[in-house]
Structure 1
Amino acid sequence: MIFKYIQKPSLEALLGSRDSLIYFNRCIAQMGWRPPPRTTKNWWLYYLWTLAVFFFVFIFVPNGLVMTGIKEFKDFTTTDLFTYVQVPVNTNTCIMKGIIVFFMRARFVKAQKMMDAMDRRCIKIEEKNQVHRAAALCNRVVIIYHGIYFGYLSLAVIGALVIRKSPFCVYNPLVNANDHFYVAITIEAVTVGGVIMANLILDVYPIIYVVVLRTHMGLLTQRIKELRSDVDKGEDQHLKELVECVKDHKLIVEYGNALRPMISATMFIQLLSVGLLLGLAALSMQFYNTAIERFVSGAYTIAILSQTFPFCYVCEQLSSDCDSLTNTLFHSQWLGTERRYKTTMLYFIQNAQQSILFTAGGIFPICLNTNIKMAKFAFSVVTIVNKMDLAEKFRRE
């Protein structure tokens, strides 16, 4: 059942934090990025699939785009130019992010083990329900991204069929689009679909892992609120609960630190490219001749915004969660307690003041304000093209 892992919590089927990766891991498996052990029957078939995907996504499409520019650039119309330029930028961004994630993929395994450790602290049914809701939300996000990204691909192919033009301008030395139009369109759609799937994986993973982090941060905040609320417990028991909260916070910080280098590098590349991509999309909508082309460009713009905006929003909320944790600690019932409890609490407050924030390339914080500033570069791209009258020059030529 495809929607099994996005349902509401029930006592019979509660999801854990690791289950938030079910649909995400299926995408990775489809891309050939999770090769099975060689003890598996017919394991070599999957390795062949991995090589085929790697060839078409990371070699055929980029080189096909380069060859298109070399062979056909002089014959480009203004419409062809803006159709062509957008794809190489996004494709090369995807390749760079993919290389980074490939060399840091061991951090995924480490983070998943930490998820299991954090789940073991969720004893109450309310906590388990909250973890389930977070896991279902993450799986729902993957489905939504499928709709956005492959919705754009479907519209691009339909538009290409209507106007009888190549949707992405990928050079194919084996099949001539003029002689075998439908075969060429099919090959192009499938290969670019692989690039889109890779982009989906690389854009979704930060959201999933940080949503899980936020969930356990919220659960820790709730546990802190309940400290010393049971008058029947002794001081030793209260201290033990506080120490467990300190350990929970340490594990959450380690979880964030395990993912930070990967997220920092990939989001740095993505945020730098988002302004250029949005600018090109805005320009293309001005110069496309048909309504279907403008509609496809609008869908592309939504897909570009989806690459950065949701994660920047999640990071913004994470910053608020860190502030809430610190305030909850300070206002908890620790005044008038024993010295050892106060000492532990002061140590906890000091550590909690160091927010679990993510930065892009270690240079600027990942937040909505940064996303807006980077997106403003789109206006610069439009202004430069309009001031230099590049579109009119291409038309005259």
Structure 2
Amino acid sequence: MFDLIKGRGRTVFASRDAVIYLFNSFRYIGFNPPATYRVPYFMYSAIITFFAVLFSPVIFNVGWLRDRNKLSVMEILTCVQASLNVMAVPLKCITLAMAHKRLRGIEPMVTELDERYTTAEDKAKIKQCAVTGNRLVFGFAVSYFLYETLTVVSALVGGHAPLSLWIPNVDWHRSTWEYWLQVSFDSAVLFFLLYHQVLNDSYPAVYIYIIRTQVQLLASRVEKLGYDEQKSVDENYQELLECIVIHQKILKIVSIVESVVSITVFTQFLVAALILGVTMINIFIFADLTTKIASSTYFFCVLLQTSPTCYHASYLLADCDELRIAIFHCNWIAQNKRFNNLLIYFLHRSQDSIPFFALKLVPINLATNLSIAKFSFTLFTFIQEMGLGENLKG
């Protein structure tokens, strides 16, 4: 099971292997039907999708609103910080489900690009891509399910429900069996929601990293153009032409990925600052020790939702700069005029970097991610200076 994240289990790796954990996980949440048992699978998918995706904003908010007079401020904020994130889940999941075939369609395109690289150095980079893609998914899963574990444990220690989700005619304050029913229901719904969130938040980083790898491989190949003395001028020209074709295919992959990533990342940007602000208020003003630990983990997870995507999107711009530098480093001086004219065309086409935008409005990069974190601190400071937290606590 863990061979892929350790780089073991196979002798030949491909860039498409970076999405193995991703699409295997899609099967568990109902987005990737198997070849057999399709009818039972679709029934399972419908149940999971209804309760964990479509109905989750209702059950997350009705429960704490109904019991707001019985809950402490700490318990209410714990529910609110989770429900704010849940509000974005339906749109993110629906977008990802509708884009499933388009994302699958990238795999043969990436495989075709991989076949053009045969050196040991290039194969090592492709292997690193496959390993890193699965490590990203695994890292998200460990972080998110650690949050669930801490949330449930802190609730049990404190004698309250983890999330107080709405269950008709059930009040966990009344009896022991209702309390354990509430804890079990909260834990199950949170598990499937977090499973969805792992995939919703990890897939942009995985696909952008695949694109980064292809740009790096292309830059390495371009830099070596013209230095092989065994190749004729015409052969160097054909290799340059092939590099241009590779670049065009990379841009095609980018257009597919950006059309999907744009919606889900923008949705997360919208809610992230509010979630971070509410979580900080809970941690520093209202929460007890166990809830502080769980909420601190949640704070880290919210930052994690967009940070890897923004990180790799920022470094993709740096990789594009390296590609332009590689064009100048090739042995163009020893080539003929036809080669140099084509090289100028390639240089012109590569001048445009590959930026990712959320809904073509907000750049997906580390600067945006930092701005969201700064806004959440500003919101927390404003509330603290106004004394609203202390008034509620009193």
Change (3 A) 1:277 1:70: closer
In the alignment, is the contact (CA less than 8 A) between 1:58 and 1:95 conserved in 2?
Answer: yes
Which consecutive residues of structure 1, in runs of 5 or more, have no partner in the other structure?
Answer: none
Q: Which moved more, 1:284-293 or 1:352-361?
A: 284-293
Q: Deviations over 1:182-216 (max 9, x none)?
A: 23211110111111111110100011111111111
CA apart distance, 1:374: 1.4
Alignment of 1:9-158 (within 5 A): 13-37=11-35, 40=36, 42-158=37-153
In the alignment, is the contact (CA less than 8 A) between 1:218 and 1:321 conserved in 2?
Answer: yes
Alignment of 1:293-312 (within 5 A): 293-312=291-310
* Distance (whole Å) between structure 2 residues aligned to residue 36 and residue 99 of structure 1: 20
Count of equivalent residues: 391
Instruction: Give the RMSD, CA atoms, in angstroms.
Output: 1.7
Aligned to 1:333, the other structure's residue is in SS state: coil
* Distance (whole Å) between structure 2 residues aligned to residue 164 and residue 105 of structure 1: 42
Find out whether 1:320 has 2:315 as its counterpart.
no
The match for 2:165 is 170
- Amino acid across the alignment from 2:316: L
CA apart distance, 1:113: 2.2
Which consecutive residues of structure 2, in runs of 5 or more, have no partner in the other structure?
Answer: none
The match for 1:262 is 260
The match for 2:233 is 235
In the alignment, is the contact (CA less than 8 A) between 2:225 and 2:330 conserved in 1?
Answer: yes
Aligned to 1:308, the other structure's residue is in SS state: helix
CA apart distance, 1:289: 4.3
**One of 285, 288, 294 as aligned partner of 2:286:** 288
Alignment of 1:197-276 (within 5 A): 197-276=195-274
CA apart distance, 1:72: 2.0
The match for 2:4 is 5
CA apart distance, 1:292: 0.7
* Distance (whole Å) between structure 2 residues aligned to residue 153 and residue 312 of structure 1: 25
CA apart distance, 1:123: 2.0
TM-score (norm 2): 0.94
CA apart distance, 1:255: 0.8
CA apart distance, 1:253: 1.0
* Distance (whole Å) between structure 2 residues aligned to residue 23 and residue 289 of structure 1: 36
CA apart distance, 1:384: 3.7
* Distance (whole Å) between structure 2 residues aligned to residue 316 and residue 289 of structure 1: 35
* Distance (whole Å) between structure 1 residues aligned to residue 137 and residue 158 of structure 2: 31
TM-score (norm 1): 0.94
The match for 1:343 is 341
* Distance (whole Å) between structure 2 residues aligned to residue 139 and residue 97 of structure 1: 21
* Distance (whole Å) between structure 2 residues aligned to residue 321 and residue 306 of structure 1: 23
Identical pairs, percent: 27
CA apart distance, 1:162: 0.4
